[in-house]
């Protein structure tokens, strides 16, 4: 008995320390497990919430209903962000540059907090070293209707080029405030003005177009700013769709 007492009295402190360490480890392990479970459930709920991007789902619904061009691809994206992609195909340059391609990506941020949309135009196999203008337009093909000049794109020597610009794309519209009128936006319903839901690229210079396309009888168009009037060339690329692409 004395032997036991001696052992207890001598080893009391180390034993207590050992017990304390063991209990702390057990506590930490249970806390870690709890934290992991909480994180997992949070991630799960977050993932569930993000699985439903109402805006993207709505666009896909419009596409199924035949109200958005079939050439539009609605990308999977986190809620509040909507990303669409569509191709541009050669129009005025089809014969001379049949392999020309353009990919347009439009990113819309949170509609409550974003200042503008972001549009990326990426082209390949185009006429080299030429400046093209980019317009939002009412109609994809002639007579194109109301238009908005948004940016330029200058190709490199290999016919590739890209540009990124930040302005209003998804709800772009043209209007004369003296008589704004209304039109039906593919995604929004009735809106003010005339919706611009197509995109095209034009030769910024008629002379360049005549040279590149080897056709001196090409007519000037209004698809560039500045003096003189009608100094731009023909449409080079189009989304080619009847239904809206954005």
Partner 1 sequence: MSLKRVFKAQWLLATVMLLGLLVSACTTSSTPSTTNSNTPGTNTGGGPAFPTSPLALRTPSFGQQEAPTVKVLSSADPTVIVQFTLTPASIKALFPNATALVTVIEGNPAVSDFDTVIVDAQNMPPNQKFTVFFTELSAKPFGHAEYVGDVITRGDGSAESIFHLIALGAFAADNRAPTVTSTDQTGEASGIQLEHVGMWFDGVRAARQVLNNPNIPGTPFDGGAGALHAGPQAMTDGQTQPVI
Contacts with partner 1, residue ranges (CB under 8 A): 112-116, 137, 142-154, 163-168, 170-178, 180, 182, 185, 188-193, 221-232
Query: Is the Cβ of residue 12 or residue 164 nearer to partner 1 in the bound state?
Result: 164
33 versus 245: smaller Cβ distance to partner 1: 245
How many Å apart are CA 11 and CA 17, to the nearest integer? Answer: 10
Which residues on neighbouring strands pair with residue 82, listed in sequence order? 108
Write down the least CB distance from residue 85 to partner 1, Å.
20
Minimum distance of partner 1 from residue 80's CB (angstroms): 15
207 HSE (CA, 13 A, CB side): 1
CA pair distance 123, 237, nearest whole angstrom:
10
CB of 142 to partner 1, least distance (A): 8
CB of 196 within 8 A of CB of 185? no
Minimum gap (Å) between residue 111 Cβ and partner 1: 8
Q: Which residue's CB is nearer to partner 1, number 124 or number 166?
A: 166
First to last CA, the chain: 90
State the Cα–Cα distance between residues 208 and 24, nearest whole angstrom.
79
C-beta closer to partner 1: residue 31 or 126 = 126
The distance of closest approach from Cβ of residue 38 to partner 1 in the complex, given in angstroms and rounded to an integer, is 33
Q: Is 184 helix (H, G, I), strand (E, B) or coil?
A: strand
- Pick the closer one to partner 1 by CB: 90 or 161: 161
Residue closer to partner 1, measured from CB, 11 or 230: 230
3-state secondary structure of 183: strand
Pick from 223, 213, 207: nearest CA to 148: 223
Q: How far is the CB of 31 from partner 1 (least distance, A)?
A: 39
Strand 131-137 versus strand 117-124 pairing type: unpaired
Q: Distance between CA 8 and CA 14 in Å, rounded?
A: 10
CA 48 vs. chain centroid, Å, equals 23
């Amino acid at each position: 008995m004395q032997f036991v007492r001696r052992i207890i009295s001598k080893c009391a402190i180390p034993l207590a320390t050992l017990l304390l360490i063991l209990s702390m480890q057990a506590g930490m392990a249970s806390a870690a497990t709890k934290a992991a479970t909480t994180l997992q459930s949070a991630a799960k709920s977050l993932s569930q919430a993000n699985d439903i991007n109402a805006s993207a789902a709505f666009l896909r619904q419009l596409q199924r209903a035949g109200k958005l061009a079939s050439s539009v691809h609605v990308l999977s994206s986190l809620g509040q962000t909507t990303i669409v992609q569509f191709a541009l195909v050669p129009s005025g340059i089809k014969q001379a540059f049949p392999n020309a391609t353009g990919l347009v990506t439009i990113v819309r941020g949170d509609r409550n907090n974003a200042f503008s949309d972001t549009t990326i135009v990426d082209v390949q196999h185009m006429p080299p070293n030429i400046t093209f203008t980019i317009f939002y337009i009412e109609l994809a093909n002639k007579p194109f209707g109301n238009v908005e000049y948004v940016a330029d794109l200058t190709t490199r020597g290999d016919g590739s080029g890209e540009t990124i610009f930040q302005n209003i794309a998804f709800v772009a519209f043209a209007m004369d405030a003296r008589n704004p009128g209304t039109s039906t936006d593919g995604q929004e319903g009735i809106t003010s003005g005339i919706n611009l839901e197509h995109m095209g690229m034009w030769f910024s210079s008629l002379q360049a177009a005549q040279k590149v396309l080897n056709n001196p009888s090409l007519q000037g168009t209004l698809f560039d700013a500045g003096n003189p009037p009608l100094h731009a060339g023909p449409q080079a690329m189009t989304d080619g769709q009847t239904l809206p692409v954005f």
